[in-house]
């Protein structure tokens, strides 16, 4: 039966090629590589760069014209969760962002800065990039993908790419699907995996105010529903369906008059689409733009604007067909999101029913001249928060997120809240309600299984999927962050190299060896890895006096806060391994709290002499969606002897978390 399926798949792929030729597409010669990476997202760039640096021939295929996906498409306010989870080249990317802006590392940035860095990665790795090519088929021999077929609709060409291992880094999972790998779309019922936050959820987050009438003529059901309200009814809480959480654009605007293009009326502008915004305003006073948008500031007077409250940039319920749609249908959905979002900005700035002070506020903003210059100054990437999700060797669930189930084969970590945007907007008891929003956290960083990024071996033995990985809807909501995608992509590429060298299926590599390689060569260039000593490492950390554990807002699983001064010495000493030698810049992680000691006393001993420093709370400026920063304690030349960093409490509320040593040439 499997043989017959493979034969039919090959026949179908041949038909695709023949139809392409018939429709005016010219067939080009076949290309062959060790590793083929599909999708020029942030993950795709890191995967391709990793494979190249590890000595394999690699090609990166991007259906669009730009690299970086959401990381260069407007998502400048990075969803971090906990910096402890970010490692390797993913962390290197944010360190390079920091260098650009004159900081050690930075998690907020302009789109063009991110794209420039992604372009530098492929250039430095000598990675060929095939732009504007999208997959139309895959040829398999048994459980091996032999080649994928691509089409370039602009050049009217088709291309066949052969590889030993394929890595699908697309947001949609198109290579995975074409290869016949099992996947899910939508939400599982809670009962399927014993979860509590999956499936239908009617919660209060990003919700419409009570009492909003859903009908075009208030009180008259015969007049029909307002635009943006679905005709469905509320299903049982926790029941599964095929609905997909809302997409939007992360909007980059500027209030710099010299770099600003006015917001004008877009294509297909229909003001009736925004009637719900007016009705929301009738129930909830609109004091500033922040009441309808998450209006986050980026460097150089720019923004990363996201969805907020009941009616905003999310186009709820309008994307359900997107994951499995053909390219023409996806283009329609994409354009509808562009028109809706640009129309929303124009409506807010011009409709007389919007309060004058709001119209004046948004009038200060416009599209930046120096962003997306070849795309009408508009983002090249729709925020596809979730599309297909592979059903792999292991499915990550809510239980993994919350630490009730743990895996030993982790090749990356996640730390973000289990997060889902709304999936539907319906009428419930005569009122407009949004359904599907979930924001459940309260857990620390947790490992993501290698088995969650590989398909079942019987389905594909040479495919790795680090973006549309194997997870339930609600677990994916925690994992689906750009830094995590990059971490998993590096792991995927390193695993692909191992599979090629050992001539084994990707499911059969030595995961312990993979974990060791990721730890010992995090930048894939043979450089010395940095060293982290966390307060939770009891073998290296000496605690004197009474300290309280805090589990939220630090680096790693917890951090320490000096208890009420008992008159006894209180200190935390981070003892370095005597084998450490050479120059390192030393940092301490400083969690910002509502009540923190005004000054912390720190002693650094490099094996020869001590240096005493004082860190003022007022000097530590936290930037971005995080709760702390690394504070430099200077550069030291360590001799192979016992060295340490000691944080001494000068009273209550002194904090101690982690110490970082970054190699210096």
- The candidate with the shortest Cα–Cα distance to 128, out of 161, 165, 85, is 161
pLDDT grade for 650, boundaries at 50, 70 and 90: confident
- The candidate with the shortest Cα–Cα distance to 644, out of 618, 611, 599, is 611
**DSSP letters along 205-254, please?**
TT-PPTT---EEETTEEEEEEPTT--S-----TT--BS--PPPB--B--B
Residues 568-587 have a mean pLDDT of 93
- In the chain, % of residues over pLDDT 90: 89
> What pLDDT score was predicted for residue 24?
66
Residues 527-554 have a mean pLDDT of 93
Return the number of other C-beta atoms located less than 10 Å from residue 49's C-beta.
Answer: 28
> What pLDDT score was predicted for residue 640?
82
* pLDDT above 80 for 615: yes
> What pLDDT score was predicted for residue 431?
98
Residues 579-589 have a mean pLDDT of 94
- The candidate with the shortest Cα–Cα distance to 76, out of 37, 50, 115, is 115
Residue 463 CA neighbour count, 13 Å, CB half: 37
Q: 237 to each of 83, 392, 472, 665, how far by Cα in Å?
A: 34, 27, 16, 57
- CA-to-CA distance for 253 and 263, rounded, in angstroms? 10
The distance of Cα 350 from the centroid of its chain, to the nearest Å, equals 34
Q: To 10 degrees, the CA torsion angle through 639, 642, 643, 646?
A: -170
pLDDT in tens, 396-449: 999 999 999 999 999 999 999 999 999 999 999 999 999 999 999 999 999 999
Q: 30 to each of 38, 162, 205, how far by Cα in Å?
A: 16, 7, 50
What's the whole-number average pLDDT of the chain?
Answer: 94
Bigger pLDDT: 124 vs 23: 124
> By three-state DSSP, how is residue 435 classified?
strand
- The candidate with the shortest Cα–Cα distance to 107, out of 630, 644, 623, is 623
> What pLDDT score was predicted for residue 27?
66
Residues 600-628 have a mean pLDDT of 93
Q: Which residues contact 118 (CB under 8 A, 6 or more apart)?
A: 40, 42, 45, 67, 68, 71, 72
> What pLDDT score was predicted for residue 593?
87
- CA-to-CA distance for 517 and 529, rounded, in angstroms? 11
Category of 95 on φ-ψ map: left (φ > 0), alpha (ψ -120 to 50) or beta: alpha
Q: 190 to each of 238, 245, 436, how far by Cα in Å?
A: 5, 16, 13
Q: Cα 566–567–569 angle (5° rounding)?
A: 100
- The candidate with the shortest Cα–Cα distance to 186, out of 336, 325, 389, is 389
Element (H, E) at 361: helix 356-362
At 166, list the tokens: 């394929």
pLDDT in tens, 318-358: 999 999 999 999 999 999 999 999 999 999 999 999 999 99
> By three-state DSSP, how is residue 498 classified?
helix
DSSP state of 486: H
The alpha carbon dihedral of 67, 389, 423, 336 has a sign of: positive
- The candidate with the shortest Cα–Cα distance to 469, out of 408, 552, 511, 412, is 412
Residue the block writes with tokens 């309280």: 548
Query: How many residues are there in the chain?
Result: 665
pLDDT in tens, 355-398: 999 999 999 999 999 999 999 999 999 999 999 999 999 999 99
> What pLDDT score was predicted for residue 2?
37
């Amino acid at each position: 039966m499997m043989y017959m399926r493979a034969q039919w798949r090959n026949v179908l792929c041949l038909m695709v090629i023949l139809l392409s030729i018939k429709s005016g597409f010219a067939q080009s010669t076949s290309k062959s590589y060790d590793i083929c990476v599909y999708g020029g997202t942030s993950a795709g760039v890191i995967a391709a760069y990793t494979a190249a640096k590890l000595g394999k021939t690699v090609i990166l295929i991007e259906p669009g014209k730009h690299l970086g996906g959401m990381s260069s498409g407007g998502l400048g306010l990075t969803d971090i969760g906990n910096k402890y989870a970010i490692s390797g080249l993913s962390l290197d990317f944010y360190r390079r962002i920091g260098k650009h802006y004159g900081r050690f590392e930075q998690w907020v940035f302009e789109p063009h800065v991110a794209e420039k860095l992604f372009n530098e990665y492929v250039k430095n790795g000598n990675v060929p990039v095939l732009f504007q090519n999208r997959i139309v088929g895959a040829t398999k021999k048994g459980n091996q993908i032999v080649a994928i077929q691509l089409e370039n609709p602009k050049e009217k060409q088709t291309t066949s790419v052969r590889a030993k291992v394929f890595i699908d880094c697309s947001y949609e999972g198109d290579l995975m699907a074409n290869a016949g790998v099992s996947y899910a779309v939508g939400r599982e019922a809670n009962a399927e995996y014993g979860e509590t936050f999956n499936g239908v959820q009617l919660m209060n987050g990003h919700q419409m105010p009570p009492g909003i009438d859903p009908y075009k003529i208030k009180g008259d059901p015969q007049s029909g529903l307002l635009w943006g309200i679905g005709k469905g009814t509320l299903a049982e809480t926790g029941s599964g369906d095929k609905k997909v959480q809302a997409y939007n654009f992360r909007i980059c605007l500027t209030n710099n008059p010299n770099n600003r293009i006015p917001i004008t009326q877009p294509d297909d502008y229909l003001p009736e689409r925004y009637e719900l915004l007016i009705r929301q305003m009738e129930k909830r006073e609109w004091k500033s733009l922040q009441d309808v948008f998450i209006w986050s500031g980026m460097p150089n007077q720019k923004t990363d604007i996201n969805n907020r409250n009941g009616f905003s940039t999310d186009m709820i319920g309008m994307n359900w067909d997107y994951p499995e749609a053909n390219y023409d249908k996806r283009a329609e959905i994409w354009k509808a999101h562009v028109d809706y979002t640009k129309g929303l900005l124009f409506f807010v700035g011009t409709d007389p029913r919007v309060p004058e002070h709001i119209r004046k506020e948004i009038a200060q903003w416009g599209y930046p001249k120096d962003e997306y210059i070849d795309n009408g100054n508009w983002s090249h990437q729709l925020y596809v928060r979730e599309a297909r999700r592979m059903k792999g060797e292991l499915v990550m669930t809510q239980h993994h997120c919350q630490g009730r189930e743990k895996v030993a084969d982790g090749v990356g970590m996640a730390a973000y809240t289990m997060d889902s945007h709304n999936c539907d907007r319906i009428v419930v008891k005569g009122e407009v309600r949004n359904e599907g929003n979930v924001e459940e956290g309260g857990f620390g960083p947790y490992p993501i299984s290698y088995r969650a990024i590989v398909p079942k071996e019987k389905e594909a033995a040479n495919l790795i999927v680090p973006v549309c990985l194997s997870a339930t809807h609600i677990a994916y909501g925690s994992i689906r962050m750009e830094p995590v995608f990059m971490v998993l992509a590096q792991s995927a590429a390193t695993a692909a190299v191992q599979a090629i060298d050992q001539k084994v299926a990707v499911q059969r590599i030595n995961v312990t060896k993979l974990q060791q390689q990721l730890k010992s060569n995090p930048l894939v260039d043979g450089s010395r890895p940095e060293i982290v000593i966390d307060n939770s490492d009891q073998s290296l950390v000496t605690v004197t006096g009474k300290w309280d554990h805090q589990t939220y807002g630090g680096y790693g699983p917890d951090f320490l806060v000096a208890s009420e001064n008992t008159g006894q010495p209180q200190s935390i000493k981070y003892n370095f391994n005597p084998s450490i030698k050479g120059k390192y810049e030393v940092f301490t992680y400083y969690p910002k709290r509502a009540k923190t000691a005004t000054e912390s006393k720190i002693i650094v001993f490099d094996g020869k002499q001590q240096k005493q420093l004082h860190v003022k709370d007022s000097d530590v400026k936290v930037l971005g969606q995080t709760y702390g920063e690394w504070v430099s304690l200077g550069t030291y030349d360590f001799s192979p002897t016992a060295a340490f960093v000691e944080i001494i409490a000068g009273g209550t509320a002194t904090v101690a978390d982690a110490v970082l040593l970054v190699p210096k040439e």
